[in-house]
Structure 1
């Protein structure tokens, strides 16, 4: 009996030592993983010390996804977009299907030139650029590649002309995602710059005695006009219950000659709720 008691005591002692050497792991909503010791938990924040250090840091609970304690116990605090913050939808309040969770689809962008429908290829290119940028900053999310998204839409009969006949919940069910990004690029002709260059050439003809026999001159004038464009991008993000969680627009700071939308597009993506550093 004494031997059994001794073995149990040693096992508990060993487990206590192991628990003390194993760190607490704090997983933040941006994907960062911190290892150390959680020394205090208050209603709004936690106090944390890194491994091998004594300095205490205070972290907001809103920035923490979960804590895996050294004992193995997992304490969940938040999710990238908490369910409690989902906006109510009067049309459909069905819970998010499990296979939709944390999945994102980006629709082909609408491209307007002087408020008129523009080239469809520009909208597809903007869709691809948004996918490429957000894919590098989407820890915890899965983003459908544009080819898969577009193929699923076509197979379901969702063309650009018929897009307005589908709710965002309809599209989420078709694509199997929780979030849908709908964007537009608006390009308008801005001011035009022009320049004029004149070149003159004078030739003097002389004979062998270095006497001037005649003078000839030529001149040419070149005109150059450059069209500049004002470009703005709009982003609208919906959830699979038709709730809108982000709706912003941004205009390029300076007019450009190629109609580039990359600057305002990245500006908006960096500030949307799905972006992770």
Structure 2
């Protein structure tokens, strides 16, 4: 009887210890059908902060992309965007995001370039101008890749509520999903005033050229000051897994205000999406 009691005690201790070492995960069900296992850290009015099991990196997920969360405690929380069940036996299909319904392979979107001049962010029109220039340069040599037009890109971002002030709250994987593309090009231009270069010319004209006698004339001097700039461009290309497949930071060779254009062309010609 004593041996039976000891064996029972050991078995109870074993299963109790096993139960303590097995940690349950929170389960998130997204609107596109993806199931995420890990730990929910925080739920705000519009986002959820989440960590995958076995990882430490914290991701931010929009609440609008989530159907429900089943917590490790067993409690389930559903969200407003969850499609209501139809009264009949036939249920309507759940809405799918653009990236889930369309083939994203070889599709590329160019984000508006950040343009910082003398420490100040320039207007959105300037950022979109560089975005269009990048599209024009790469569009002629895209090969098998399909470029999303800048207008279509900006419309999709605006519809998703994404602008220059909050775009950093989204991972590149989330942006790829929102835009329905496989690759995203992200760039930044930093430009600062440096020295000024002075160009001067002097011209002399005679009052009369009718004879060979020297006569007094007039001398004119013209001077022009040209502002020089130091321009640095950073360009990165991300895939739909938020992995960087191209990363370049280059200082412009010329000191003119539009020197970024030559640098942009240089970087595009050397990126993996460019085809000769």
TM-score range (shorter-chain normalised) is 0.5 to 0.7
Instruction: Give the number of equivalent residue pairs.
Output: 181
What is the match of residue 12 of structure 1? none
Residue-by-residue CA offset, 1:139-192 (whole Å, 9 max, x unaligned)? 221110000000111111101111111111221111111111001122222331
What is the match of residue 271 of structure 2? 272
Q: In the TM superposition, what are the counterparts of 1:60-79 in structure 2 within 5 Å? A: none
Q: Secondary structure at the match of 1:160?
A: coil
Structure 1 pair 202–271 and aligned structure 2 pair: CA distance change class (3 A): closer
What is the match of residue 118 of structure 2? 114
Cα distance in 2 for partners of 1:89, 1:180 equals: 25
Structure 1 pair 127–90 and aligned structure 2 pair: CA distance change class (3 A): same
CA RMSD, 1 decimal: 3.0
Structure 1 pair 91–192 and aligned structure 2 pair: CA distance change class (3 A): same
1:119 CA drift (Å): 3.4
Q: Secondary structure at the match of 1:255?
A: coil
What is the match of residue 180 of structure 1? 184
Structure 1 pair 137–218 and aligned structure 2 pair: CA distance change class (3 A): closer
Matched, 1:169 2:173: yes
Residue-by-residue CA offset, 1:247-275 (whole Å, 9 max, x unaligned)? 1112222222x423221111111221222
Q: In the TM superposition, what are the counterparts of 1:1-277 in structure 2 within 5 Å? A: 99-201=103-205, 203=207, 218-256=218-256, 258-277=257-276
1:217 CA drift (Å): 5.4
**Unpaired runs of 5+ in structure 1?**
1-87, 205-209
Residue-by-residue CA offset, 1:44-67 (whole Å, 9 max, x unaligned)? xxxxxxxxxxxxxxxxxxxxxxxx
Residue-by-residue CA offset, 1:90-112 (whole Å, 9 max, x unaligned)? 678xxx95622211100000011
Contact 2:253 2:259 in 1 (8 A): no
Cα distance in 2 for partners of 1:89, 1:134 equals: 37
Cα distance in 2 for partners of 1:192, 1:235 equals: 28
Contact 1:200 1:220 in 2 (8 A): yes
TM-score, normalised relative to structure 2: 0.57
Contact 1:184 1:235 in 2 (8 A): yes
Q: Secondary structure at the match of 2:161?
A: coil
Contact 1:105 1:181 in 2 (8 A): yes
TM-score, normalised relative to structure 1: 0.57
